[in-house]
Structure formats: structure tokens, C-alpha cells
Amino acid sequence: MSSHFVRMFLTISLIVAVFNQRSCLAVPATKIKGWKILQTHAMQKRTSLYVTSRAVRIDNLDATWSIVAQAPDWDAVVYSRADRTFCKVPYLKWSKIGFPSFFVAEDVVSVPKNISSEAGVFNLAGKESLPVKILHWEGKAPTIATMMFRSKTAPALCRFTLVTTSAVDAPKEVKQMLEQYFRLPQTDGIVIKLSNSSERRPMLDTSLLKPVDFFSNVFLLPDGYKQVKSESEVWVNANDKKKINDFGELIGK
């Protein structure tokens, strides 16, 4: 056998070996069952959620933020789909202080203890009905100034309505994630509506909540992202950074 054919044989063997090794190392995405939820929040605007008993994904549809977290550690990965940057936030941190941004109040709503609830049915766009628990109470409503600028102005007294469902199989960590992201009161279910009589629109509303099949890799950080030190570098995308820098230069002149 000539040296040319020997080299060709060895080259092909090496390619096949590398391919087989990568195939063994790659973890294929599997189809899993979970829930898809679409919600609109007064400050965070439109948000898409994927929820299972072991993972959660949050996509802000009006910005470029995404958050994913999985069992067993539930450490969060916050990333920007625009800048392709990410940072990691340990569970012990986000479960206590949440995900700080300029647009969400520190303490928006608190539910009084020992208030009675009533059972009901919630219709989603007239298509699907969910068993829900409904709470009503009187309290002080946060104004837009309070929510955005930490205003000390005393909010007006109003009537709150909170609607939750236990139809979604979600562990406490998923509920904590949504409570911290939207700054919602702690409940024993998924919040699908929160409103108060002083506002024309709900503080949180749900337009879609249904069981779906999707691939497990939706809970993974996409390839090609650069790690940064803090969440603020992820929240503020490149375009916003440029505007801030330009404004700073303008003031400095």
C-alpha cells in the first residue's frame, strides 16, 4: 500500500474518531412537558415564561433580557439577547433581593395575613378556563412615582384583587423567581392577575397559560455569549450604554 493511501486512511480514521467523540459528549435536547405563559406587567411590560417542575425561563419581549434557572441549585443566568452577554446570579442572592433594575419598585404590594379567599374560574382569552383562588383586600396602592422613583408620597387607599392558580406544576423556586422578577406578593400558586381599583389596567395580567411540549435546551444559555461581572451590564444594552455615555459627555462639556 502506497504512503499516499496510508495517509488518507489515517486522516479519515482521525475524522471519524473526532466525530464519534463529539457525538458522545454532546447532550441532545429532549422534548419535555411544561407550561407556556404570556403575561403583561405594568413595569416589565410583555413577558414570555416557560415553566416546568425543574426549570424556568423568562424572556422580556419588550427589551432584550432573559433569565434561566434549573434544579438542583437554581442559580440564575441573566443574559442579553442583543449584546450576547451574561452573568450568573446565585440562588441565595436572587431569592433575597431579586433582580434590581430601574423600573421595578422594591416593595410594591403586601398581602395582609389571614384574609379569606374564594374559589373561582379564570378565562384566558375566552378559550380556556382555569381553577383559581381569588383574594380581595383594602390597601395602599403604589403609584407610578412610587414604583419608578422610590417616592415617599403616601399611595392612595384602594381595593386589591389577586388571582392565583395551582394548576401549574411549579416548585417554590419558580414561584420565588416570578415573585422577585415582577415584585409580586408571596403566594401558594402562580399569580395570573393582580389589579387595584386606582389603576385602569391590571398591574399584572395573563393572556396565555397552557401546557406545551418543548425542547429542554430552552433552559440553557445559548452558545457564543460573553460573561460580564454584574447584572447591570446585562440589563443596559449597548445602545443604552452609548446614550448614557453621550449624555455624560454632553453634561461634562
Task: Split the chain (253 residues) into runs of 10 and give each run's mean pLDDT.
Answer: 55 52 55 94 91 95 92 96 93 87 57 83 70 89 54 69 91 93 88 88 91 92 93 71 53 55
> Is 119 exposed, middle or buried (CB count within 10 Å of its CB: 0-12, 13-18, 19+)?
exposed
The rounded distance, in Å, linking the Cα atoms of 74 and 153 is 37
> What does the pLDDT read at residue 102?
46
| Beta-carbon count within 10 A of 168 CB | 21
20's torsion region: left (phi>0), alpha (psi -120 to 50) or beta? alpha
> What does the pLDDT read at residue 24?
41
> What does the pLDDT read at residue 177?
93
> What does the pLDDT read at residue 145?
47
> What does the pLDDT read at residue 22?
46
Distances from the Cα of 197 to the Cαs of 140, 201, 211, in angstroms? 10, 9, 31
- The architecture in CATH of the region 31-234 reads Clam (2.50)
> What does the pLDDT read at residue 3?
60
Q: Which of 134, 142, 188, 196 is closest to 166 using CA atoms?
A: 188
